């Protein structure tokens, strides 16, 4: 594809994402490229990078387009993003030429407006704070309370591309084995700084099609997610329940730390998610996992109260910690979503915690950076359940890397740890 054709494809893909309001952008993009197999890997990468850059700066681009009296839309998102990256109007006109596969020419109004962006930067001092940090207006107060003076730096880190992290499956080999196997695929991987099983790959490489992944030696998993499993400290012969298991990413890590010994129950309310875990479990060589579908009126949990050594509650959440990976989610999140999720999280934690035996632990985790879903949930739970106590991160951190925070909780952000935003609290049942 020519550079101009890539811009046309970016415009088409943004339009497709905008029209599919209830679908994640990555799912729409997968369908878009699947239907256009003539687009090569390098072109796909270039188009995707342009689109994701625009997704990460959508509110600021809209502000600028209103500022220069142009109506926002996919075509002008692309044009404005290029101008704010330093393009000259003459170069933009050459790309928007109307030639074969190129975007149609700029009209007089577009040219006049876009000319005002020459020499400008994406962030302008006159922007409202919520626009400047690229967050919904209703959420700004919560983020200020969370980050204070560091808010702009934290949110700027959310604008950066997410890392590609892998977890080595110790049931299949060592971290050194995985590095060597990936090198044979011409993929350079380096150990992550915090997870003892983590590897980080530079760039966007097709890991999932290679032998290291297909053989079960590595899984794709953000380092922050790996640390949740690390803090669970699930050991051989334990009884463990992963209460919101989904497709089993953390279940796989728990089975690994248990050396395939003991018993894990992977629970979820969606049968398709649990079915999706089957292939992953087989590929990883895991055979100590039982799946259970949680349904209305289900008595399974009540009959097993007080019988598990570890209870992992990877609670459904706003996903604000994954915004650098899923930038389109910022625009879909509503205040009602947060209030509904906070209620749901409280109910899930209260139910799941009953499964822990005396001396057992409950590990509560979210991929959120909001206090309402994290510290506030734990404060409320402990106040209502005096039979549980919080274990301080600094006292239980299993290493070998230095503890990533002062405690009492694990609180990760892209800025401070180069991971997705994650929160983890470890509670012990003492009565």
Annotated active-site positions, please? 367
Whole-number Å distance between alpha carbons of 126 and 132: 9
Within a 10 A sphere around the Cβ of 133, how many other Cβ atoms?
A: 24
- Closest to 258 measured CA to CA, from 242, 244, 246, 276: 242
CA–CA gap between residue 213 and residue 168 (Å, rounded): 10
C-alpha 415/C-alpha 421 separation (Å) is 9
User: What residues have CB less than 8 Å from 230, skipping those under 6 apart?
Assistant: 195, 196, 253, 257, 398
Query: What is the full DSSP assignment across 218-280?
Result: EEE--HHHHHHHHHHT--TT-EEEETT-TTSHHHHHHHHHTTT-SEEEEEES-HHHHHHHHHH
69 and 110 Cβ atoms separated by less than 8 Å? no
8 A C-beta contact, residue 113 and residue 87? no
Angle (nearest 5°) at CA 252 between 246 and 253: 115
Please calculate the CA angle 391-392-398 and round it to the nearest 5 degrees: 95
Tokens 């150990």 sit at which residue? 191
How far, in Å, CA of 207 to CA of 37, rounded? Answer: 19
Packing angle between helix 3-19 and helix 41-56, nearest 10 degrees? 50
What is the residue whose two structure tokens read 């953000």?
222
d(CA 425, CA 363): 6
Cα–Cα distance for residue pair 74/374, rounded to 1 Å? 36
| Other residues' Cβ atoms within 10 Å of the Cβ of residue 322 | 23
Contact (CB, 8 A) for 87 and 3: no
Is residue 264 within 8 A of residue 289, CB to CB? The reply is yes
Torsion of CA 371, 373, 378, 381, to 10 degrees: 140
Answer yes or no: are the C-beta atoms of 105 and 93 closer than 8 Å: yes
CA distance 425 to 232: 10
Q: Which two tokens stand for residue 191?
A: 């150990």
């Amino acid at each position: 594809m020519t550079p101009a054709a890539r811009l046309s494809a970016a415009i088409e893909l943004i339009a497709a994402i905008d029209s599919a309001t209830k679908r994640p952008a990555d799912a729409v993009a997968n369908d878009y490229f699947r239907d256009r197999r003539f687009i090569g890997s390098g072109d796909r990468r270039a188009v995707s990078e342009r689109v994701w850059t625009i997704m990460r700066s959508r509110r600021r681009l809209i502000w600028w387009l209103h500022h220069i009296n142009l109506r926002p839309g996919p075509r002008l998102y692309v044009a404005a993003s290029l101008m704010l990256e330093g393009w000259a109007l003459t170069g933009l006109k050459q790309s928007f030429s109307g030639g074969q596969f190129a975007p149609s020419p700029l009209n007089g109004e577009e040219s006049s407006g876009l000319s005002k962006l020459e020499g400008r930067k994406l962030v302008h001092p006159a922007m409202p704070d919520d626009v400047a940090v690229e967050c919904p207006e209703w959420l700004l107060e919560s983020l200020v309370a969370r980050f204070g003076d560091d808010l702009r730096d934290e949110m700027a880190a959310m604008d950066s591309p997410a890392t590609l992290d892998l977890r080595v499956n110790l049931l299949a080999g060592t971290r050194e084995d995985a590095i060597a196997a990936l090198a044979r695929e011409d993929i350079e991987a380096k150990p992550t700084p915090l997870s003892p099983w983590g590897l980080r790959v530079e760039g966007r490489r097709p890991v999932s099609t290679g032998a290291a992944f297909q053989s079960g030696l590595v899984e794709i998993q953000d380092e922050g997610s790996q640390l949740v499993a690390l803090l669970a400290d699930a050991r051989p012969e334990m009884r463990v329940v992963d209460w919101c298991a989904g497709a089993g990413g953390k279940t796989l890590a728990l089975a690994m730390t248990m050396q395939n010994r003991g018993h894990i129950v992977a629970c979820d309310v969606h049968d398709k998610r649990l079915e999706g875990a089957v292939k992953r479990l087989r590929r990883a060589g895991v055979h100590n996992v039982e799946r259970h579908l949680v349904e209305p009126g289900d008595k399974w949990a009540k009959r097993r109260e007080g019988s598990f050594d570890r209870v992992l509650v990877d609670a459904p959440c706003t996903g604000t910690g994954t915004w650098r990976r899923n930038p389109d989610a910022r625009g879909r999140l509503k205040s009602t979503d947060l209030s509904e999720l906070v209620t749901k999280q409280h109910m899930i934690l209260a139910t799941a915690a009953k499964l822990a035996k005396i001396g057992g632990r409950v590990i509560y985790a979210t991929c959120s950076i909001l206090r309402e879903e994290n510290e506030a949930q734990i404060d409320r739970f402990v106040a209502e359940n005096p039979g549980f106590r919080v274990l301080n991160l600094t006292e239980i951190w299993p290493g070998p890397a230095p503890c990533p925070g002062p405690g009492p909780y694990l609180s990760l952000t892209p800025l401070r740890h180069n991971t997705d935003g994650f929160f983890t609290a470890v509670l012990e049942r003492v009565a």
